Amino acid sequence: MSSDSCKAIFVTGASGFLAGELLPRLLEKNQESPIYILLRASNKSELEERRQTVLSSVNLPKEISHRVIALAGDVEKEDLGLGDDYKKIAKEVGEIYHSAANTRFDQPLEKARQINYLGTENILKFAHQVQDLGILKRYHHVSTAYVAGNRAGIIKENELECGQSFFNTYEQSKYESEILLRNQMTSLPITIYRPSIISGDAITGRTRHFYVIYEPMKWVYFGHLTFLPCRPDVKLDIVPIDYVCDAIVAIGNQSSSVGKTYHLTAGLRRSIDLDELVDSCLKEFNNFNKDQGKPLVNRPEIITPEIIEHMQGGDREKSEKFFQRAWQQIQRHMPYIISEKDFDDTSTQEALKDTGLSCPSFRDYLSVVVGYALRQQFRA
């Protein structure tokens, strides 16, 4: 490659939602650079099949998709599964976007660490190799705002180790990965991005999966969950995928963002409380069902721990068991509906002030997101 501006971009997690949506944006921003995507595959045929799946999922046109080059590999391996090509690829790379993660909430901790911590450790080694063989412009790391764990109240972007515990092994393993990254920030140009709960595109509603925020919607819509164990006044911090990806590209293009962490979050002002969310979703469900000639959906009952506390005798015992069963069913998907977090995004707002980018309120595009889910019947 003739210049640093044409250096390749190395992307992990491209088969996932966020990194997949990053691809067209990276291709547009870096119009001469090839993009290497690391995919698990046992042979060339499987590798090309997986590459085509990634390309079609984001509707990449053929005239630019040729710049997306698939590499068979695995972030859990020390050499990323690249074998003899490890140094050759490192020499060609100028930027790294690490998004590969185990996002399941119910994994044993060691299993979660395999990708989230060990994968980060291996990508950091690769970043050092890139730096040793040429110029590493930036290592972009996708984390999560929920490294805050069980903290409540205002959460600042520069905060990490605050004595928190965690709702699940995903949060803990991503937290541990950030500690690892912070220890490397003096020797590598690293930027960390912390999205909150990611929804579909704010304009089209399109999503590649129906997890997290979509799970309770699906359960209520199909009648599998007639109650919600939560506090109705707690606000959910939800951000659309287009804002997250556009912000990563915009912030990552600024030299001043090296060594910093950014909350890609809505904040309380643009968040929506659970009571309003339930009512708004129910309205969309029933408008859709009415048009389809289907039965209307009943509003789920919201049961809080406080309601149970005021019950007496057998009713209380029955409701406590009821609440616990409900909470066990929902907690792996929605561990954020009991206490409220206010993610401060001062650094993000400062970085985006001249870009025209801002995070919309979820209520402003809820109908788009829910409408898409209903048309797909919550199937990817």
Percent of the chain predicted with pLDDT > 90: 76
Q: What pLDDT, on the 0 to 100 scale, is given for residue 232?
A: 85
Between 309 and 3, the more confident residue is 309
Residue 193 resides in a domain: yes
Specify the pTM: 0.93
Find, among 344, 346, 17, 360, the residue nearest to 148 by Cα: 344
CB 347 within 8 A of CB 261: yes
96 Cβ contact partners less than 8 Å away, ≥ 6 residues apart: 9, 10, 11, 12, 123, 126, 127, 130, 136, 138, 139, 140
pLDDT tens sequence across 21-52: 999 999 999 988 999 999 999 999 999 999 99
| CA 85/CA 83 separation, integer angstroms | 5
The arithmetic mean of pLDDT across residues 5-10, rounded, is 88
Determine the Cα angle at 37 with ends 175 and 351, to 5°.
Answer: 55
Q: How far apart are the first and last CA of the chain?
A: 38
Find, among 65, 67, 86, the residue nearest to 75 by Cα: 86
Residue 113 sits in a domain of what CATH number? Answer: 3.40.50.720
Find, among 102, 305, 110, 111, the residue nearest to 211 by Cα: 102
Residue 376 resides in a domain: no
Residue 63 resides in a domain: yes
pLDDT tens sequence across 121-173: 999 999 999 999 999 999 999 999 999 999 989 999 999 999 999 989 999 99
Q: What pLDDT, on the 0 to 100 scale, is given for residue 149?
A: 93
DSSP result, 200-262: S-TTT---S---TTHHHHHHHHTTS-SEEES-TTPEE-EEEHHHHHHHHHHHHT-GGGTT-EE
Residue 126 resides in a domain: yes
Residue 125 resides in a domain: yes
Token output for 151 = 């903290």
| CA 249/CA 94 separation, integer angstroms | 15
Domain count of the fold of the chain? 1
CA 284 to chain CA mean position, Å: 25
Q: Report the interhelical angle of 44-57 vs 17-29 (nearest 10°).
A: 80
Residue 275 resides in a domain: no
Where helices occur in the chain by DSSP H, the ranges are 17-29, 44-57, 62-65, 86-92, 109-116, 118-133, 169-182, 214-221, 241-252, 274-292, 305-309, 313-330, 346-352, 362-376
Say whether 35 sits in a helix, a strand or coil: strand
Per-residue confidence band for 3, with pLDDT thresholds at 50, 70 and 90: low
Neighbours of 211 (CB within 10 A): 16
Residue 24 resides in a domain: yes
Find, among 185, 188, 186, 131, the residue nearest to 7 by Cα: 131
| CA 335/CA 352 separation, integer angstroms | 29
Residue 297 resides in a domain: no
The arithmetic mean of pLDDT across residues 284-293, rounded, is 98
Q: What pLDDT, on the 0 to 100 scale, is given for residue 118?
A: 98
Q: What range does the domain containing 48 cover? A: 4-202+238-268+340-359
What's 107's DSSP letter? S
